[in-house]
A and B are shown apart, each in its own frame.
Chain A
Amino acid sequence: MFGYTMDEIGNIVVMQGFSGLSLFSVLLLMALGLAIIFGQMGVINMAHGEFMAVGAYTTVLMSKLAVKYDLVHTYFVFAIIAAFIFAFVIGYLIEFLMIRHLYHRPLDTLLATWGLSLVMQQIFRSTFGAKEVSAELPEWLLGSFQPTPDIDIPINGVFVMGLAIIVTASVYLYIYRSRGGLRIRATMQNRTMASAVGINTKKVDRMTFALGCGIAGVAGASFTTIASTGPTTGSLYIVDSFMVVVFGGATSLIGTIASAFSIAQAQSILQFFMSSSMGKVSTLLVIVMILMMRPEGLFASKLRK
């Protein structure tokens, strides 16, 4: 097949599979935030990629500080937290200034947030320059380990995946096992009833939107370990993330994970055997076809309007 022996194909699949896992982790983190915002409020946030870039730029700035004060070994953990907080705060403000006025017009939020993404991209470009920047990574994130001589697994990929798993688990715990999550789910299911029993639904909306943005910030922080960041980095991932959310079924956490996994793996493995662009085209094409046959996505039973 393709001029490789079975053994080589096995190794290629394992290695591309692992590089797919890095993509999977970033997509999963992006899609988690989107799915929360979309599932909760029906808001399509086109600026989500730019919130990811906020996280990434925060990490880059933190790494510059860390180099200055010789803290390269430990700063990354704080960078992740800072990325979350920054993106969270900006998301909170955006919800307050913009999104809350548009809840009754979902198509218009899509357009307004696109405008926002243009503005944010230009802010990045004016502040950090048009060139891509990358964070100074601590030593323990570099290098790779080799279970067999032919297989090479980069450590940063493993780290990013670990981070994605931790964040996903925390989101799960928060939404399904805490009071705050209970309020979110109550508002999502029946806004009027929720507010009748004393939940401040407007506050819940604001916190949910900010939380989704914060998770995008974490996605940005983890993104810096596998690639460098430019002003348009976020926009490269936005369509993929939307496809993950729609493909998985917007309100299902499991669906989001499964679809992020399949999309990332398909892209990564196909890109090895075809050209990079054809790999992406065929993945997206298959998703669009599946969505045409099963518009409600993989894991949702509710019919979509």
Chain B
Amino acid sequence: MKALSEKLLGGKQGAIALAILAMVLFVIFPLWLDSFRLSMLGKYVTYAFVSVSLVLLWGNGGILSLGQGIFFGLGGYCMAMFLKLEASDPVSTKIQTTPGIPDFMDWNQITALPWFWEPFKSLPLTLILILLIPTLLAFIIGFAMFKRRVGGVYFSIITQAIALILSILIVGQQGYTGGVNGITDLKTLLGWDIRTETAKYVLYYVNVCLLILSIMLARYIITSKFGMLLLAMRDKEERVRFSGYDVSDYKIFVFCVAAMISAIGGAMFTLQVGFMSPSFVGIVPSIEMVICAAVGGRMSLIGAVYGTLLVNFGKTMFSETYPELWLFLMGGLFIAVVMFFPDGLAGVYDKYSKNFKLGELLAKFNKNTVKRIGDML
């Protein structure tokens, strides 16, 4: 039991860091921020799921996926489809030519619900699909690529192309997906209005709980033997292969887990924000999520969360006041982090906390030397 809790929390230091994060998200922010800002924070927390998945996948596994937006988006769209169907019941859509189908379908002269919307009429099925569809897609992509030993930059480029394909597809198929506007006007979840202030608070707390669970899951994976193998694969893939491990299986597994965590983030995003659109699926959001993880620290689960919150707060602040400056800052930040602080904020923190310990050591050493010099005299 003790071993399990240690693995989930990551030792004493990890537990403290996680407790501080939980404290900040559960207590400090809700007390400090008004409900508008808090709901915005909730949005950033959903991005943090993707950062956590990237720490697992990229920081530890060395697999840079430029398509995490795919899974975030799929999770979000699954949730949005369920909510949209609930919002477009025959009574409230009776002015349409075909009542009972989402309004954008009606605008696009579609008269019957497409088959792939059918499962999203039930909540349990939707919840299963939120986890299943992205994981399955990740499995197919991962199986096809890792079994053929495609890795490194090729993997990044191909995932990026898939993100592009998905976003063009969603924009192009307006009648089935809501097009460039996405799926909007989501109202209730099983009759519970998600637009009220109370609902936003509740969703925020659910969000943070899920995030902390995801961090614990990721930490469990990282601290297990599997995590050791991930690191080994990142650094010397050939050696791991020669030691008799099937590298591709491990990569496929970690890619699927990362996809699932991102999808949870996407589904929570839809609930928290009340809509889903292709602008959270394509290339740009996918890379921005990598930026967030990189700024926070690609090796640190907790750091990546702080990084995500910080980058997105900065983005909102700056694009409100100086929209021009923001892209300069974002680009510059990214170049600087990659070139000078490859381990991000967490790396900087570690360095200074280590220096601090080094100082203690030096002090001890000095004391000893002084004593010895005193003895000699």
Does A159 have its Cβ within 8 Å of any Cβ on chain B?
Answer: no
Q: Report how far A287 CA is from B160 CA in the complex, Å.
A: 13
Given A107-B64, A246-B154, A287-B161, decide whether A122 and B338 contact each other with a Cβ distance below 8 A: no
From B62, B158, B330, B339, give the contact of A118 (CB < 8 A): B330
Q: Report how far A110 CA is from B141 CA in the complex, Å.
A: 21
Q: A115 and B64: CB pair below 8 A?
A: no
Tell me, rounded to whole Å, the shortest Cβ–Cβ distance linking A267 to chain B. 12
Does A106 have its Cβ within 8 Å of any Cβ on chain B?
Answer: yes
User: Using a Cβ cutoff of 8 Å, how many contacts connect chains A and B?
Assistant: 120
Q: A119 and B328: CB pair below 8 A?
A: yes
Q: A284 and B165: CB pair below 8 A?
A: yes
Interface residues in A27-81 (C-beta closer than 8 Å to B): 42, 44
Question: Apart from A122-B328, A242-B160, what 13 extra A-B contacts exist at CB < 8 Å?
Answer: A101-B339, A107-B62, A108-B338, A116-B331, A120-B331, A122-B324, A276-B172, A277-B168, A284-B165, A288-B165, A295-B145, A295-B149, A305-B152
Q: A304 and B149: CB pair below 8 A?
A: yes
Residue of A nearest to B333 (CB): A115
Does A303 have its Cβ within 8 Å of any Cβ on chain B?
Answer: yes
Interface residues in B132-176 (C-beta closer than 8 Å to A): 141, 144-145, 148-154, 156-158, 160-162, 164-165, 168-169, 171-172
Interface residues in A84-120 (C-beta closer than 8 Å to B): 98, 101-102, 105-108, 110-112, 114-120
Does B290 have its Cβ within 8 Å of any Cβ on chain A?
Answer: yes
Residue of A nearest to B164 (CB): A239
Q: A288 and B162: CB pair below 8 A?
A: yes
Does B8 have its Cβ within 8 Å of any Cβ on chain A?
Answer: no
How many B residues are at the interface, by size bracket?
A: 35 or more
Contacts of A285 in B (CB 8 A): 165
Does B259 have its Cβ within 8 Å of any Cβ on chain A?
Answer: no
Tell me, rounded to whole Å, the shortest Cβ–Cβ distance linking A31 to chain B. 13
Contacts of B149 in A (CB 8 A): 295, 303-305
Does B335 have its Cβ within 8 Å of any Cβ on chain A?
Answer: yes
Tell me, rounded to whole Å, the shortest Cβ–Cβ distance linking A266 to chain B. 14
Q: Which of B62, B237, B291 has the most CB of A within 10 A?
A: B291
From A44, A281, A305, give the contact of B168 (CB < 8 A): A281
From B161, B324, B333, give the contact of A242 (CB < 8 A): B161
Contacts of A246 in B (CB 8 A): 154, 157-158
Does B327 have its Cβ within 8 Å of any Cβ on chain A?
Answer: yes
Contacts of B148 in A (CB 8 A): 292, 295
Q: A111 and B327: CB pair below 8 A?
A: no
From B152, B158, B334, B342, give the contact of A106 (CB < 8 A): B152
Given A121-B327, A295-B154, A305-B149, decide whether A281 and B334 contact each other with a Cβ distance below 8 A: no
Q: Report how far A304 CA is from B149 CA in the complex, Å.
A: 7
Does B314 have its Cβ within 8 Å of any Cβ on chain A?
Answer: no
How many A residues are at the interface, by size bracket?
A: 35 or more
Tell me, rounded to whole Å, the shortest Cβ–Cβ distance linking B70 to chain A. 12
Q: B339 and A102: CB pair below 8 A?
A: yes
Contacts of B331 in A (CB 8 A): 115-120, 122
Q: Report how far A31 CA is from B228 CA in the complex, Å.
A: 39
Does B332 have its Cβ within 8 Å of any Cβ on chain A?
Answer: yes
A-B contact pairs, 13 of them (CB 8 A): A42-B153, A44-B157, A111-B290, A114-B334, A115-B330, A115-B331, A116-B335, A118-B328, A243-B161, A275-B172, A278-B172, A281-B169, A295-B148
Chain A residues in contact with chain B, CB under 8 A?
42, 44, 98, 101-102, 105-108, 110-112, 114-122, 125-126, 239, 242-243, 246, 275-278, 280-281, 284-285, 287-288, 291-293, 295, 303-305
Q: B161 and A110: CB pair below 8 A?
A: no
Q: Report how far A120 CA is from B330 CA in the complex, Å.
A: 12
Q: Which 6 A-B pairs have the closest CB atoms?
A: A277-B172, A115-B334, A118-B331, A119-B331, A292-B144, A122-B327
Tell me, rounded to whole Å, the shortest Cβ–Cβ distance linking A287 to chain B. 7
Tell me, rounded to whole Å, the shortest Cβ–Cβ distance linking B140 to chain A. 9
Q: A242 and B335: CB pair below 8 A?
A: no
Contacts of B165 in A (CB 8 A): 281, 284-285, 288
Tell me, rounded to whole Å, the shortest Cβ–Cβ distance linking A1 to chain B. 22
Tell me, rounded to whole Å, the shortest Cβ–Cβ distance linking A127 to chain B. 11
Q: A102 and B338: CB pair below 8 A?
A: yes
Given A291-B158, A304-B154, decide whether A119 and B327 contact each other with a Cβ distance below 8 A: yes
Q: Which of B144, B237, B287, B335 has the most CB of A within 10 A?
A: B335
Tell me, rounded to whole Å, the shortest Cβ–Cβ distance linking B236 to chain A. 12
Q: A284 and B164: CB pair below 8 A?
A: yes
Question: Please, what's the 1-or-0 string for B291-309, where 1 marks a CB less than 8 Å from any CB in chain A?
Answer: 1001000000000000000
Q: Report how far A108 CA is from B145 CA in the complex, Å.
A: 21
Q: B153 and A281: CB pair below 8 A?
A: no
Q: Report how far A122 CA is from B156 CA in the complex, Å.
A: 25
Q: B332 and A115: CB pair below 8 A?
A: yes
Contacts of B168 in A (CB 8 A): 277, 280-281, 284
Q: Report how far A284 CA is from B154 CA in the complex, Å.
A: 15
Question: Please, what's the 1-or-0 string for B309-350, where 1 marks a CB less than 8 Å from any CB in chain A?
Answer: 000000000000000100110111111001100100000000
